[in-house]
Structure 1
Amino acid sequence: MGDMSGLEWDLYKNLYGQHLAQDTVSEEVANFLQKESPDRPLVLSFHGGSGTGKTLVSAMLGRHLYGTAMGSPYIHQFVPTLHFPSPDRVQQYRLELKDWVQGNLTACARSIFIFDEMENMPPGVIDILKPFLGPSHTVFGTNYRKAIYIFISTIGEEVINRMALETRQAGKEREEIRLVDLEDAISQAVFNNSRSGFFHSSIIQEKLLTSFVPFLPLGRRHVERCARRELCQRGECQRTDVVEAVGGAVVYMPEQGQHFSSKGCKSVPAKVNLFL
């Protein structure tokens, strides 16, 4: 099922500055896919600022499991502003989501469900999934345990960025940041954020997430690698002048120090166009 060594290679080759995401995702996915009958689904929650690679990684997962990124009928993506726009229809959304997940798992046990922008998800909707996420015996058969759930949000960004900044100011390498340094803080941030889809969620309380995956803010060298990748895709690999121009044109934070790109690699394609 899927091409695991391919996913690991893809993560190391195309995701920049994210040792925690690389290690956690490749390890968790490999462990999960090795099990013939897992006792619970794989539930990952991606956290970090915009343009740091969260969507990129979920697309990689889809590609290596199904050979297509988002076009597969087994990959289901939910965007709250589109699918759950109105906070006063939580009950209706809960029922619709439950039917949708249940129907899709019946069709394919190895479905991938991606919940984007959890910071815009009305609180309470996602809790309807609780029986699907744990080792529950009340859900039909056992096939629901082969599913993969990915939650994506910017919540926890402050905690992650602060840790990255302190590490940098202490003169240490970002690779020295470990998952255990961040997991509890991210968990508390999403649980206590009243705007988040995980606000006071029993999914967090009952520890049904396999892993919180932190995406660190990106420095100038990462932005330049994104620019180089973008240029190479257009057959313009040799344009180091453009790479440097893009690196210099991005907004960095904080004011003092200017260590990290405020929008990760998000504006890179547009800036490459500008300088090409």
Structure 2
Amino acid sequence: MAVARHGYRPWGSILGLLGLALAAAAAWDVASLRCTFGSFCECDFWPDLPGLECDLAQHLAGQHLAKALVVKSLKAFVQDPAPSKPLVLSLHGWTGTGKSYVSSLLAQHLFRDGLRSPHVHHFSPIIHFPHPSRTEQYKKELKSWVQGNLTACGRSLFLFDEMDKLPPGLMEVLQPFLGPSWVVYGTNYRKAIFIFISNAGGEQINQVALEAWRSHRDREEISLQEVEPVISRAVMDNPQHGFWRSGIMEEHLLDAVVPFLPLQRHHVRHCVLNELAQLGLEPSEEVVQAVLDSTTYFPEVEQLFSSNGCKTVASRLTFFL
């Protein structure tokens, strides 16, 4: 006769299921948990410094100073859980030397969605500040935009392109956001990153590089101490530059002035090979030489540096493929 076992509880089954659940929970990615229950702002900030270093090493030609400064500055900032001020970098150099490329790499390797991230803000004078007569209006709008976005997400990246074309006086509204104060306008902004891009100082950097070449010095021997002072003078003496009387340079709010050296023929070759690889094409010496020969160089006598850096490599390739 069967015995009815009233009150039976399948504890073994329950414990087994619980064990499986705990094992599954332990296997969850900690980052996924953080992004499920944390803020989207912090989750979108996903720094990949090894990846950044790798891309800079492989794709940025002829810029030993820029590589070292950008990586060193970012490492120190990202690894600091409580930075005392935002990271502020100013990129300077001749056209086509890699300034915009580096800024795009920063966005790509700092945020999950790269330049498409809602926390990456790109300003262009032609698009956002086209009329110098409206500078006072632009000041109010820029201050409001920066303050509002930092309030929404302290982990924000602000890119200001073509600083030498911005209306003078506009940048003074940013000064309070760039210093070591803890809170500005009720906003905690210390984890933000500001990148300023400019051609200002490019001629002076080119002259330093030319003199080094004429002195038979290796390019990698050019030091920051040689170029930083000439860049600062070129910017501070230029009333058309966005930093003019903004207090940003005068108050030493820049964490690093990042110089980009002019590119020589072998650097342009590197860019051509990179572009061919991006297109999935095998390198062709005939095509490479055609692009190099179609590029203009300066000074007139030495024909040493590319007039447009690597900026026109992609468009020139289309003529020879």
1:197-218 superposed Cα distances (whole Å, 9 cap, x missing partner): 1112211100001111000100
Amino acid at match of 1:117: E
* Alignment partner of 1:270 is 2:270: no
Counterpart CA distance in 2 for 1:184 and 1:254 is 23
Please list, as runs of the form range in 1=range in 2, the aligned pairs for 1:1-276 lying within 5 A after superposition.
Answer: 1-140=46-185, 143-276=188-321
Shift of 1:140: 4.6
Q: Which runs of 4+ in 1 moved over 2 A?
A: 140-143
**Native 8 Å contact 2:182 2:190 kept in 1:** no
**Native 8 Å contact 1:21 1:214 kept in 2:** yes
Counterpart CA distance in 2 for 1:22 and 1:122 is 30
Amino acid at match of 2:309: G
Counterpart CA distance in 1 for 2:260 and 2:133 is 32
**Native 8 Å contact 1:191 1:201 kept in 2:** no
Q: Percent identity at matched positions?
A: 51
5+ long unaligned stretches in structure 1: none
Counterpart CA distance in 2 for 1:239 and 1:232 is 11
Counterpart CA distance in 1 for 2:276 and 2:79 is 37
1:173-218 superposed Cα distances (whole Å, 9 cap, x missing partner): 1111111111121111111101111112211100001111000100
Distance 1:157 1:57, change over 3 A: same
Counterpart CA distance in 2 for 1:225 and 1:159 is 24
1:3-61 superposed Cα distances (whole Å, 9 cap, x missing partner): 11111111111100000100000000010001101000000000011110000000000
Deviates further, 188-197 or 254-263: 188-197
Distance 1:270 1:180, change over 3 A: same
5+ long unaligned stretches in structure 2: 1-45
After TM superposition, the score normalised by the length of structure 2 is 0.84
Deviates further, 30-39 or 2-11: 2-11
Alpha carbon RMSD of aligned pairs, Å? 1.2
Shift of 1:143: 3.0
After TM superposition, the score normalised by the length of structure 1 is 0.97
Deviates further, 218-227 or 179-188: 179-188
Counterpart CA distance in 2 for 1:37 and 1:180 is 29
Amino acid at match of 2:184: V
Counterpart CA distance in 1 for 2:303 and 2:152 is 50
